[in-house]
Chain A
């Protein structure tokens, strides 16, 4: 006798909790062929703002964790993702209409990306920082530091990318100690929410990653103009009026990363795009 399955309610991920949209709105998520999969939360402007508040509250703690600790947490995400590999493969098969092999390939790439980025947490400062030989009796050191709260739009509708797109956008943002509000793939948001469940059980502090599902066109302008967001990753904004978003971001001089075609490759560049250089001068005694 077949057991009747228990479908999951897909909600938002804000501040370590999984709330429904405060607006009470949902939208239907289907397979590419139109079969019903879930009612995802249609996040509102208020949800986006709540997510920024959560990200801000979590930022100093995450940045203040040791690089070793952040590396272990990111590695832990890979471990738990590996453990739930079958679930993600199945979810991608349904939501993307992918073959089992293609879905497995995407999940494996996502797991490997977490491992790759986990290894960077205690190295990017050594690569990008510097000891500066200034002409005077000063100890002078430059280190990259996290920019702060980053709003990101995950790749939208990229084949084989509804999970990997989120991972390859979120992971580099986290490496340096930023927190993030990410808008998932609008049409295929389910694996992003399942990924948030992995975060919640991987020692990722609540609020470090906040996942919104719904319309990027609706939410992005509020995030782009939000005064408490420090940077804007437009990776998946290519089909939006992204120049307007960049203009809105200019009001508070946010750092802006331009849209990418497809899924961004893992890169040091993406880690450093969300860092600031801090240079410290300290006097040396004249002895």
Chain B
């Protein structure tokens, strides 16, 4: 598309602002830790959580010290010993159903809070994150009284206290992925949200109070990396579940070595999204966009390496640029926004630095024509073409709206290139030929394969990585097993 046409398209799409109202929120000025059923003060230095779209302060958040973590673990242990492990599965399930319903009732509030705190577009928090949160609790609620069907013998047992540390990209959804199966299996929980996105977890704590969940069954400790480290290293936790970077995942694996703690790690990725020349190209373009620009590319399973069959490379890149020129970046609370804010200055710096490296290593950079808002953290959708398999931007996880385009000629070459990474979380395949899709899917070393779609999630569908993308599954019966040990009555 000529630049004049791009400009015309941009004008054509010049919508009036349609911001979602924040009046649905009832935020407090400051939030404590949620321990043993109550909000309590933390003993560390509190920190501010800001909106990445405006850099304005939203609220003050407590920092949990190792002593606070200790109290939270003790509360979880008491709740496990005295209440939760003695309750029938049916009753545990009823609490989870209650939580699912309360999430649905307060869905708009949660979506607005999430978007405000995280920077993701409201249409994503409203239509993806929060509905999936409710679905996750609903799904696992039904498992609570059916554990003997989980595939671990006739009398599987809970592990005890689960220590859970979650990332900032899907704050409430990751909380649901962690808490729902843990509670269904009969464990109690201490969870630490990411430092930049604690808000929705703290609203969720209010939901737990409304659900009248027995005190101590879920404890929420906020803070930075040190808080998380104290939690996963705590002697009295039986399970560690972490979603985040591979670097931190390695540290956790080392810290728990020899302890016998059961571990689930959902780490980084550098997914190949493979487009064959017989793919429905217009659908593939939408899938490529969903694959890497959904949630500003802050997705561990993002399709960040586009592998295009050589003969359709130019056509796809052109179509992609045209499509990206129509994406609307800006106020995440605006219902028309496609691309929100980058979650933090730190992440923005990383995306910028890796993109600069991509350029300096010889790849050709193209940036979507977007107006960058004055305040906040923003990075316009960016494509690199002419990327070599050895390029830094083809190897390292950028965790931002940056797509590296590579080419291949044969399915075998596509498979080799796709697997040429220490990661193995996800992959995409686009082709109209089912037999080719299945053959390629067989050979890809990744835990989730999307064929003619991308970035789909469902509580019934296991999700987890191969190789250095971590181990253990979340979702489905497999995700339930991660919180159980086998046993025979």
Contact residues of A with B, CB < 8 Å?
A: 127-128, 130, 132-136, 138, 140, 142, 147-148, 230, 242-243, 246-247, 249-253, 255-256, 258, 269, 276-283
Known: A138-B453, A142-B478. Contact between A250 and B253, CB under 8 A?
A: yes
Q: Does B458 contact A (CB under 8 A)?
A: yes
Per-residue interface assignment for chain B, residues 186 to 212, with 1 indicating a CB less than 8 Å from any chain A CB and 0 otherwise? 000000000000000000000000000
Known: A253-B250, A279-B449. Contact between A140 and B258, CB under 8 A?
A: no
B452 touches A276 (CB 8 A): no
Q: Does B329 contact A (CB under 8 A)?
A: no
Partner of A230, one of B135, B260, B437, B467: B467
26 pairs from A and B in contact (CB 8 Å cutoff): A128-B478, A130-B478, A134-B461, A135-B135, A135-B458, A136-B456, A140-B460, A142-B461, A142-B462, A246-B258, A247-B258, A250-B253, A253-B253, A253-B267, A276-B424, A276-B447, A277-B447, A278-B466, A279-B448, A279-B461, A280-B441, A280-B448, A280-B449, A281-B461, A283-B451, A283-B452
New contact pairs (14) apart from A130-B462, A134-B458, CB-CB < 8 Å: A134-B456, A135-B135, A135-B458, A142-B476, A253-B249, A253-B267, A253-B470, A276-B471, A277-B462, A277-B478, A278-B449, A278-B466, A279-B447, A281-B461
A253 to B466, alpha carbons, bound, how many Å?
A: 10
Q: Smallest CB-CB separation from A252: which chain B residue?
A: B468
Dominant SS at the A interface? mixed
Partner of A278, one of B249, B267, B447: B447
Q: Smallest CB-CB separation from B132: which chain A residue?
A: A135
A32 to B453, alpha carbons, bound, how many Å?
A: 63
Q: Which B residues lie within 8 Å of A128 (CB)?
A: 151, 478
A130 to B456, alpha carbons, bound, how many Å?
A: 17
B446 touches A278 (CB 8 A): yes
A132 to B462, alpha carbons, bound, how many Å?
A: 8
Q: How far is the CB of B279 from chain A (nearest CB, A)?
A: 12
| B-side interface residues, number (CB < 8 Å) | 43
Partner of A250, one of B250, B260, B441, B461: B250
B447 touches A140 (CB 8 A): no
A283 to B61, alpha carbons, bound, how many Å?
A: 43
A251 touches B458 (CB 8 A): no
A249 to B249, alpha carbons, bound, how many Å?
A: 12
Q: How far is the CB of B264 from chain A (nearest CB, A)?
A: 12
Q: Which B residues lie within 8 Å of A282 (CB)?
A: 434, 437, 451-453
B462 touches A258 (CB 8 A): no
A128 to B441, alpha carbons, bound, how many Å?
A: 19
A251 to B468, alpha carbons, bound, how many Å?
A: 9
Q: Which A residues lie within 8 Å of B477 (CB)?
A: 130
A135 to B253, alpha carbons, bound, how many Å?
A: 34
A279 to B464, alpha carbons, bound, how many Å?
A: 9
Q: Which B residues lie within 8 Å of A140 (CB)?
A: 458, 460-461
Q: How far is the CB of B157 from chain A (nearest CB, A)?
A: 15
A101 to B446, alpha carbons, bound, how many Å?
A: 48
Contact residues of B with A, CB < 8 Å?
A: 135, 151, 246, 249-250, 253-254, 257-258, 260, 265, 267, 422, 424, 434, 437, 441, 445-453, 456, 458, 460-464, 466-468, 470-471, 473, 476-478, 486
Q: Smallest CB-CB separation from B257: which chain A residue?
A: A246
Known: A243-B258, A255-B471, A258-B260. Contact between A132 and B249, CB under 8 A?
A: no
Q: Which 6 A-B pairs have the closest CB atoms?
A: A243-B258, A250-B253, A246-B257, A134-B458, A282-B451, A250-B254
Q: How far is the CB of A222 from chain B (nearest CB, A)?
A: 18
Q: Which A residues lie within 8 Å of B466 (CB)?
A: 147, 276, 278
A256 to B256, alpha carbons, bound, how many Å?
A: 12
Q: Which B residues lie within 8 Å of A277 (CB)?
A: 447, 462, 464, 473, 478
Partner of A283, one of B453, B467, B470: B453
Q: Which B residues lie within 8 Å of A255 (CB)?
A: 471
Q: Which A residues lie within 8 Å of B260 (CB)?
A: 258
A140 to B473, alpha carbons, bound, how many Å?
A: 15
Q: Which A residues lie within 8 Å of B458 (CB)?
A: 132, 134-136, 140
Q: Which of B135, B260, B449 is packed against the most chain A CB atoms within 10 Å? A: B449
B257 touches A247 (CB 8 A): yes
Q: How far is the CB of A2 from chain B (nearest CB, A)?
A: 54
A128 to B486, alpha carbons, bound, how many Å?
A: 14
A168 to B462, alpha carbons, bound, how many Å?
A: 29
A280 to B448, alpha carbons, bound, how many Å?
A: 6
Known: A253-B467, A255-B471, A280-B441. Contact between A243 and B257, CB under 8 A?
A: yes
Q: Which B residues lie within 8 Å of A251 (CB)?
A: 250
Partner of B257, one of A130, A135, A250, A278: A250
B451 touches A280 (CB 8 A): yes
Q: Which B residues lie within 8 Å of A283 (CB)?
A: 451-453
Q: Which of B449, B463, B478 is packed against the most chain A CB atoms within 10 Å? A: B478
Q: How far is the CB of A55 from chain B (nearest CB, A)?
A: 16
A281 touches B462 (CB 8 A): no
Q: Which of A230, A281, A282 is packed against the most chain B CB atoms within 10 Å? A: A281
Q: How far is the CB of B393 from chain A (nearest CB, A)?
A: 22
Q: Smallest CB-CB separation from B263: which chain A residue?
A: A256
A147 to B468, alpha carbons, bound, how many Å?
A: 12
Q: Smallest CB-CB separation from A142: which chain B residue?
A: B462
Known: A138-B456, A247-B257, A276-B466. Contact between A130 and B476, CB under 8 A?
A: yes
A255 to B472, alpha carbons, bound, how many Å?
A: 10
Q: Smallest CB-CB separation from B448: which chain A residue?
A: A279
A4 to B253, alpha carbons, bound, how many Å?
A: 56
B456 touches A279 (CB 8 A): no
A281 touches B257 (CB 8 A): no
A280 to B434, alpha carbons, bound, how many Å?
A: 12
B473 touches A133 (CB 8 A): no
A128 to B437, alpha carbons, bound, how many Å?
A: 23
Q: Smallest CB-CB separation from B454: which chain A residue?
A: A281
Known: A135-B458, A247-B254, A279-B461. Contact between A253 and B478, CB under 8 A?
A: no
Q: Which of A134, A138, A249, A253 is packed against the most chain B CB atoms within 10 Å? A: A253
A230 to B258, alpha carbons, bound, how many Å?
A: 18
